[in-house]
Each structure stands twice: as C-alpha cells, then as structure tokens.
Amino acid sequence: MKYTRGISFIEVIIASAIIVLIITGVISAYSLWISEHQVSAERVKNAILLEEGLEAVRSIRDKDWSALADLSITDTHYLTFSTTTSEWQTTTEPEWIDGVYKRWFEVDDVSRDNDDRITESGGSNDPGTKQITVYAAWNDRTGTTTTMVSAYFTNLFEN
C-alpha cells in the first residue's frame, strides 16, 4: 500500500467552499440582524411618539376643553410644544420630529345611543366626548409606514 502525505487539491477546494459558505451565512445573518434592529428601533420610537401625542392632546383637553372640542373634524391637526408657555398647542403646520417622523391627529364626533353607549351609527351627538386618533409616519426601506392609536376624550373637568 502506498500512503500519500499532504492534502489533495479536491480536499482544499471542498474545505474552501465550506469556509466561504459559513462566512457568507454569518455575514447574511449579521446584516439581517442589523436591518431588523433598525426597524425595531423605529417602531419603538414610533410607539413613544404615538403615546406622547395622546398625552399632548390630553394636556390640551385638561387645560381647556373648548380648545379641543372646537377643532374641525375635517382638518388634520399637528402638535407643537411651546417653550415659552411650556404647553402643548395645536397647529396647522406639519412638524418633522428628528427629521424622520411626522405626527398628526384627527378629531371625530362621538354619537351615543339611548342607553348612553357609544355607537358607530345612529344615536345623537355627544358634545362632551371626542374621538382622537393620533398618527405617526416614517419612511423606511419599503416605503412609508404609518401607524395610529385612537382614544376617547371627555370633558372631564367641565371647563
């Protein structure tokens, strides 16, 4: 029997192919992880902006119900924080947050049935309740992503 020493050319090619496949897999997994991490961070920030939007509208409601109740239900409203008065205010001018996110809200009338339950159709208008829907949007690699959150606000302090 004749024994050969060393590595054959075919063994070198197979080992190199396996190493290339492993490296490619690791790089692809890392790239996907980075991409998903960025999207996840955008979603978290977006959720925070939505919650802040609801809190800002709640602050406006707490200060003066009519400032909220008198807003047009057909218009888009934006929020701005006044540093001079340290209060949230509504505006008609869109504001970009961190140059990436856009946030706005809409006001809708609320109807109640004879049992004083909120109803989608019929019933009578409740001037002491408004439905507020806050939207936030940002551009990502697939296009514009828009999310929203909605809540009912009442004239809690009767002001």
123 dihedral zone (left: phi>0; alpha: psi -120 to 50; beta):
left
Query: What SS3 string covers the chain?
Result: CCCCCCCCHHHHHHHHHHHHHHHHHHHHHHHHHHHHHHHHHHHHHHHHHHHHHHHHHHHHHHHCHHHHHCCCCCCCEEEEEECCCCEEEEECCCCEECCCEEEEEEEEEEEECCCCCEECCCCEEEEEEEEEEEEEEEEECCEEEEEEEEEEEECCCCC
User: Residue 136: its pLDDT value, please?
Assistant: 96
Nearest one of 106, 105, 102 to 137, comparing CA atoms: 102
- Tell me, what's the pLDDT at 1? 56
pLDDT value at position 4? 62
- Tell me what pLDDT residue 32 has: 87
Task: Please give the pLDDT value at position 122.
Answer: 86
Amino acid 151: pLDDT: 97
**Residue 141 and residue 157: Cα distance in Å, rounded?**
45
**pTM score, whole prediction:** 0.77
Amino acid 107 reads V
Q: Which residues pair with 150 in a beta bridge?
A: 133
* Regions in the chain scoring below 70 on pLDDT: 1-6
